[in-house]
Structure 1
Amino acid sequence: MSVSDGADVALSSLDPLDKVGDGGQGEVRTLAGRPGLLYKSYREPHRVAGDSLAGLVSVRLGLRAEERDRLDASTAWPLCRVVDAGRVTGFLMNEAPASMRWATADGSTKLTELAFLLRPGKAAWQGVVQPSPAERLALVVALVELVDRLHATGLVFGDLSEANVLWTVRPEPAVHLIDCDGARLVGADPVLAQAETPDWRDPLAPAGAATVDSDRYKVALAVGRILAQDAYAAPGRPLTALPGVLDGRREDAVRGLYEKAAGGHGTRPDLGQWRIALAGRRQIALEAARPRERPVLDPRKFDGPRRRGSVRLRD
C-alpha cells in the first residue's frame, strides 16, 4: 500500500492495531506493517464532508516537493482518505516525530503538547525537557511561521489549542500541528463541524466559526501564553513575559501587537507583523490595519485523476 499519490485507500486493506489517540470526533490507531503511519477513523462517517477532506489531501499534493516535505515534517496532514463501500471513514497520516514525545515514569511515552509550555513544571513531568528563555522564544517564532505558511497556502487551521500543538527543543526548537483535518481551504466547508477548545475561542466569532482572523486571535493567545508561561493569558489583559525571553525592542513590539489582537475583526495583527516583532525588527506603521485578502484559488489546482471529490468554494 502506498499513500504517496493521495489516492483513496480501502478500509478492508488496513489492519488497525493499538489505539493511540481518542477524541470527540474519532480515534487514532497504528497499522500493522506500516510503521510511522496512523489511521484516524471517524465516529460518525455520515457527517464527514468527503469533498473537503479530499481538498486537504490535494492541497498537499499541489505543493512543490520541498514545501510538501516541510508540511509533512511539521504537521500530521491528511495523506489520503480511507473509504468503505463508497463512504469516507477516515484518513491516513504520518505519526508525529519521536522528538515530540516524552518518557513517563512507567516507561511509556506521551505527546509533548503545548500545555507543558504554559504551566510551571511538575514532578510528574520530569521527562519533559523545559526550554531555556531563548528556546521558548524560538518555539513561539516556529509556531507563528508555521501557521503563517498555512495562511499563505489559502488555509485556515481552526482549532488551534494547547492540545493540537506539539513541541520539542531537541535537537532544536520545533513545533508540530496535529488534528489537521480540522483545517480547511478558505471559503470551503470543514470536514466536520468546527471543533473548538474551551479557553481558546475567539470571543468575537460566532460559535463554530473559523476564519483567518480567528486564527490570528488564537495565535496571539498562544504567543502570550507561551511567553508568559500562563495558560490563561489573553489579549486585553497585561502581558508579562518570563524574564529573559524578550529584550527591550521585542517586548515593546510584542506588547503592542498583543493589545491590538484584542480588537475587532479586521484590526488584528497578521502573522507577518508578529514575525517582524518577534525578530526585533522595526515595523512600518500603516494608515489602517486591514485583514489579508483571501487568496485567489484556482480550482483546477485541486482537480486531477487521483481526486475523489471536489472542493466547493464559496464567494
Structure 2
Amino acid sequence: MPATTGESGTVYAVDTEPLSKDGGQSILYRCRDADGVARVYKEYKQPLTDLASIAWVSAAARRGREVVPFAERGAGLGSTAESSINWPIDTVRRGNSMLGVVLPLIPDSFLQDSGKPRTINFLYVANYNPPPAVTRVGVLIRTCDIVTVLHDQNLIHGDISPTNLVWRAASPHAYLIDCDSVRPFRSTAHRGVGTPEWIDPRRNAGRISAHDEYSDRYALALLMYRALLLNPGAPHVVNGKTASRTGIPSTLDPRLRALFDRTFDDPLAADLRPTAREWRMALKAVFLTDDGSTYRADALATLDPHVGPSASAHRVSAPAATTVTPQPPRSTTAAARRWLRPGSATASRTTNRRATGRYPPPRPAPPPPVSPRPHTPHQQSSGPPPRGSTPPVRSNRASSTRAGLLTGALIVTVLGLALAIGLRGMRLAMFASDPPTATGPVSAAAPTSDRQMATSTVDPGTQARILDSLLDQSAASRGQVARAVQAVLVCSDVAWNRDILAAAETKRKAQYDTATQIDVSRLPGGTAVRAALLDALRNSYLADGSYASWAASVEFCASAAPHTSDYSTADGYSHRATDAKRTFVAAWNPLAMTYGLPSRVEGDI
C-alpha cells in the first residue's frame, strides 16, 4: 500500500484500488492512519493551486480535527448537528499545491443495503418510493439544523444538492457531505461547481460567478419544496428562466407558503430567501405540537396524499421522526480566528466509533415502525471545493439591544408547561438522545415563587427543566455577539455594535448570576454540570466585555479593525468558554435524555 502524509503529520496507508471514481473532480480511496482507523482519501484530479482555496480547505480540516475526534470519542459522528457535517480532518500537500483531503467515513446508518449513500433524492423521487411525510419532515428539520450550524459559523457549503446530502429513516436524520468545499461568507471566489436543477438563478443569470450563502438558502428552499410536496421537477431552469412552482396544495399552512413565496416569487431577490433557522422554526410550528413531543396528524395529512398510490403502505411503516435543537451562532471570534489566521490542531488518534446504534428508533406511533435495515461500510461521494462570496448579515437593532434577563418569569413559565408525552401520536427523539419512554402523561407543576424552585424538595426532573430554560436564554445571546464581532472586524457600524456587545455582556452576566442560584442538589451529577455551565457563562461574558472594549478602541477604523490586546483577551476567554461548553454538553446530554429534554451542542450555550 502506498503511504501519504497529511499536513497534520499523520501518515495514512492508502489502498491502491479506488473506492469510487464517480466524482468528476476527484477519486476516492480507502485509507487508514497509524492506529488502523479507516478514513477516506479524496484525491483531486487537478491539484489546488489557488492560495485562497488552499487556505479555506486547510481551515476546514483544522475545524474537522476538533469536531470529528471529539464526536468519535463520544456518541459518534452524526450525534450532534456539527458532527453531522463531514468535515475534512487532514490535507495532503506537495509544495504550493494541495493534492487532496482525508475525510471520515459516512456513518453506516446513512447507507443503503448496497453500501452506497442514501442520497436525498431517495427522499422525494417517486421512482424511489419515498417515505411518508412524518419521515420527510424529520429529515428536513435535521437538515435545517445542520445548515444553521454551518451558517452560524459564517461558512458556506456552496453545493447543497441530492448528491451531497444523505439521510436515514430510523430516527430521521441527515448528514452533509462534500464539506472540503466549505469557505467563509466573505471569501472571494471566481468560479464554482453546481448541480443541474439546484443552481442559484443568480448564477444562471450571470449575477454571481460562484454560489454563496444565499445560494445555500435557495438550495435549501428547493429541498423543502421537493421533499415536502414530492414535486421534484419545479421550480427549475427552463431555457434560462426559472419555471413557476406548481403543486402546492391549497391546504398547506400559510407560514410555509410565505417562505416559498419569498424564495420563488423573485428568484433573483437573494436577500428575501429564508434562512435555515426560519425554515426550521416554520416546520416545527406547523408540524409539531407546542411541547415538541408529537406530530400534528392534521398537518401531516396535507402532505401524505402526495405520496401517490403507495401512500397507505408508507403510512403503515412510518417510523417516528426526530426533532433537533436549534443551533445559535458559534462565537464569531472562535469561527473567524480559525478561518483568518494560520495554525492547526494536532490530529487525535482515536478508535473509529460508528454512529450506528446511537439513535435507536423512537417509541412507535400506531401502526408499528419497520426496523432499520443493516448497512455495509462505504465511503462518500466526491466533488471539488466551490467558491463564492456574500455580503455581511447585519444584526437587528431592536433585538440586539435588549439587555437583562427576566429570570423569575422565565423559570415560572417553563415550569408551568405540561409535557404531554403519551402513547397517542407520533413520538420524537430529542437530538442525540433516546426518545421519552413514559407511557402516560408527564407534567411538572409550576411553583409559586423562585424561592420554592430553589429548594431541595424540587424533584430532579424539575431541576433539569429549570436548567434547560436557562440554556434557551443563553442560546439567544450568541447570535447577537457573533454578528456584532463580525461587523466590527470589517469596521461596519462599530459604535452600534460596540453597544450590542456591551449589552450582551450584561445579559450573559445576568445568566451567570441566575445559574449560581439554580438548585441542582437532586440532579445526578448536578454539581459538576452546573460548574461547567458557570465556567462557560463566566468566560462568555468576560469575552463579551473584552470585545466591547476592543470595539470602543477601534471605533474609527476604515476597512479592517486591528487585533488589539482587548481582542486577544477576548480570544482567550472565548477559547476557554468553548472548552467549558464541551465539558458541559458531555455531562448534560445524558441527563437531558433521562428527563425528556433536548440535548445540546456547544453552540447552544
Which digits, 9 at most, give the CA deviation of each residue in 1:114-170, with x for residues without a partner?
A: 111121145xx8xxxx53321111111111111111000110111011111101012
Does the C-alpha gap of structure 1 residues 85 and 265 become closer, same or farther in structure 2, counting only changes over 3 Å?
closer
Residue type at the aligned position of 1:237? R
The whole-number CA distance in structure 2 between the counterparts of 1:38 and 1:159 is: 20
Aligned to 1:113: 119
Aligned partners of 1:148 and 1:272 also within 8 Å = yes
Question: Structure 1 residue 176 and structure 2 residue 178: aligned?
Answer: no
CA distance in 1 between counterparts of 2:133 and 2:286 reads 19
Structure 2 residue matching 1:109: 3-state secondary structure: coil
Which residue is equivalent to 1:272?
Answer: 277
Q: How does 1:51-200 map to 2 (within 5 A)?
A: 51-60=55-64, 70=80, 73-85=83-95, 87-103=97-113, 108-122=114-128, 130-170=130-170, 172-189=171-188, 193-200=191-198
Q: Which residue of 2 aligns with 1:211?
A: 212
213-222 vs 272-281, greater mean Cα deviation: 272-281
Which one of 344, 347, 350 corresponds to residue 306 of structure 1? Answer: 344
TM-score if structure 1 supplies the norm length? 0.75
Q: 1:265 is matched by which residue type in structure 2? A: A
Contact 1:55 1:185 in 2 (8 A): no
Q: Distance in 2 between matches of 1:23 and 1:214?
A: 22
Quote the residue 2:415 is aligned against. Answer: none
Shift of residue 109 of structure 1? 2.2
Question: Structure 1 residue 224: deviation in Å?
Answer: 0.6
Could you say which residue in structure 2 is the equivalent of 1:50? 54
Seen in structure 2, the aligned counterparts of structure 1 residues 229 and 18 have a Cα distance that, compared at 3 Å, is farther
Amino acid in the other structure paired with 1:279: K
How far apart, in 2, do the equivalents of 1:24 and 1:143 lie?
Answer: 25
1:8–1:70: structure 2 CA closer, same or farther, 3 Å change rule?
farther
Match of 2:263 in 1: 261
C-alpha displacement of 1:297:
5.4
Cα distance change, pair 28–207 in 1 and its aligned pair in 2 (3 A)? farther
**CA contact under 8 A between 2:110 and 2:167: conserved in structure 1?**
yes
Task: Give the Cα separation in 2 of the matches to 1:71 and 1:37.
Answer: 21
| SS of aligned partner of 2:201 | coil
Read off the aligned partner of 2:178 and give its amino acid letter: D
Rate the CA distance shift 1:255–1:36 in 2: closer, same or farther, 3 A.
Answer: farther
RMSD: 3.6
Q: Does the CA-based 8 Å contact 2:217-2:273 persist in structure 1? A: yes
For residue 225 of structure 2, give the secondary structure of its aligned residue in structure 1: helix
Residue by residue over 1:96-123, the C-alpha shift from the partner in whole angstroms, topping out at 9 and shown as x without a partner, is 11111112xxxx421111111121145x
1:8–1:276 Cα change, 3 Å: same
Structure 1 residue 74, shift from structure 2 partner: 1.1
Higher strand fraction: Structure 1 or Structure 2?
1
Question: Secondary structure of the residue that 1:70 maps to in structure 2?
Answer: coil
Pick closer, same or farther for the CA change 1:266–1:158 going to 2, 3 Å.
Answer: same
Structure 2 unaligned segments of length 5 or more: list them: 237-243, 288-328, 347-388, 391-489, 491-605
Question: How is 1:22-41 mapped onto 2 (pairs within 5 angstroms)?
Answer: 22-32=22-32, 34-41=36-43
How many percent of aligned residue pairs carry the same amino acid? 22
How far has the Cα of 1:239 moved from its partner? 4.4
Cα deviation code 1:5-38 (max 9, x no counterpart)? 972556xx53234423331211111015645310
Pair 1:189–1:80, CA change in 2 (3 A): farther
Unaligned runs of 5+ in 1: 242-246, 283-292
SS in 1 for 2:162: coil
**In structure 2, C-alpha distance between the alignment counterparts of 1:253 and 1:187, rounded to whole Å:** 31
Deviations 1:209-254 (A, max 9, x none): 222111111100011111122222338413436xxxxx96x72211
